[in-house]
Structure 1
Amino acid sequence: MAHFNEISQILFGKPSSQLSEIEHRILKYAKERRPLSTDTHAAFDTSLSFGARLADAIARVGGSWTFILGFCAFLVAWVVINSILLVQGAFDPYPYIFLNLVLSMLAALQAPVIMMSQNRQAERDRFAASKDYEVNLKAEVELIALHHKVDDVLLREIVELRSELASLIRQVGQSLPATDRGQEGTEE
């Protein structure tokens, strides 16, 4: 756990006990080298109830061109049947009071269903944004970890180069004649 605290301090600037649930999960995924699931629609849709799925289906149908064109055809047929074909015994004669009642009831039922679907779409968007945040946070964690690895490699190389350089300087100093070493010391 001490290693986890150290990584948390390096990557997030705080101990693991102060990490949020998302940060803790991301750190765990990064440590285990596991990818995050990016299929947000499937993950969100599994949590929907039957009523929520039904409302989404109704909103999907009610907001389609098929519904609009079909309903226009229904209205035209209603007017034609009740105005032309059934002149004497029209079921709903001209001002089409029953048709107005049907339209009002349809609007009264359709509006809340569409609002429920829009609310769920907003929830789906928030869920997707949360997943995007997790993916971005994991990418940032991976980048920081990669920077630390590169920094460690560079520091080791610098140390090795310094020791090689010191060794070369000693070798060059030992291979110079004694008179050159003395002159070299007076010049500096």
Structure 2
Amino acid sequence: MAERPNRNNAARLDQPRETRRALLPRPSVNQETFGVWSERFARFMGTPRFLIYMTLFVIAWIGWNAFGPVDLRWDPYAFIFLTLMLSLQASYAAPLILLAQNRQADRDRVALEQDRARDERNLADTEFLTREVAALRLAMRDTATRDFVRSELRSLLEELDERSLESRRREGDDNRGGATGSSRDTSAT
């Protein structure tokens, strides 16, 4: 008996869903390119140049539609089309500015994490070097200094000089005593 496909099988959570084709294809947008473009646009909108261009555009629009030839005016006095265009521009500008701010916040977060990691490494290096310097200072207390070595060498040299003088004296005494003893021996014979 072959199992018939059941509608209940399609709703099972342990089975992957089949992909369905969309009626309209989704546009493929490179996120990075779009993000870079939105940042450039947001930066341009925050410049005095943009404000001057926008002011000149609105003045020209209102001037033409208020004082131009009546049959060539496309937006009469209430300037509803101008209001619609400015609203449309604002409705697109706000999300683009937010996208640019989000990208900047992501970059700032990454830079902050890198700074924090670098600071932690620097702190660890500083603590290590501090411990090493402290260990060297402790070791230097146990280590002989140049002055200490010189004084020890002087005392050893003095001691050697004294010993050599004593040994010369003994040899001198031995030689004198041996010379008199040998002369006594020869006179006795």
What displacement does 1:80 show? 0.6
Which structure is higher in helix share? Answer: 1
2:83 maps to a residue whose letter is N
Give the one of 115, 120, 136 matched to 2:98. Answer: 115
CA distance in 2, matches of 1:113, 1:63: 12
Task: Find out whether 1:62 has 2:45 as its counterpart.
Answer: yes
CA distance in 1, matches of 2:111, 2:69: 55
Tell me the residue number matched to 2:27: none
Give the one of 53, 62, 78 matched to 1:79. Answer: 62
What displacement does 1:161 show? 4.8
CA distance in 2, matches of 1:80, 1:132: 54
1:83-102 residue pairs with structure 2 within 5 A? 83-102=66-85
**Which structure has the higher relative contact order (CA within 8 Å, separation 6+)?**
1
Which secondary structure does the structure 2 equivalent of 1:49 belong to? Answer: helix
Tell me the residue number matched to 2:167: none
What TM-score does the superposition give when structure 1 sets the normalisation length?
Answer: 0.58
Give the one of 136, 139, 143 matched to 2:126. Answer: 143
Tell me the residue number matched to 2:108: 125
Unaligned segments of structure 1, at least 5 residues: 1-47, 176-188
Residues 67-117 of structure 1, C-alpha deviation per residue, up to 9 Å, x if partnerless? 011000000000011111133431111101111111111011100000111
State the superposition RMSD in angstroms: 2.4
Report the structure number with the largest CA radius of gyration. Answer: 2
Tell me the residue number matched to 1:156: 139
CA distance in 2, matches of 1:99, 1:86: 18
CA distance in 1, matches of 2:72, 2:137: 94
Q: Runs of 4+ in structure 1 displaced over 3 angstroms? A: none
1:118 maps to a residue whose letter is Q
CA distance in 1, matches of 2:72, 2:124: 77
1:58 maps to a residue whose letter is F
What TM-score does the superposition give when structure 2 sets the normalisation length?
Answer: 0.58
CA distance in 1, matches of 2:69, 2:89: 25
The number of residue pairs the alignment matches comes to 122
Which secondary structure does the structure 1 equivalent of 2:143 belong to? Answer: helix
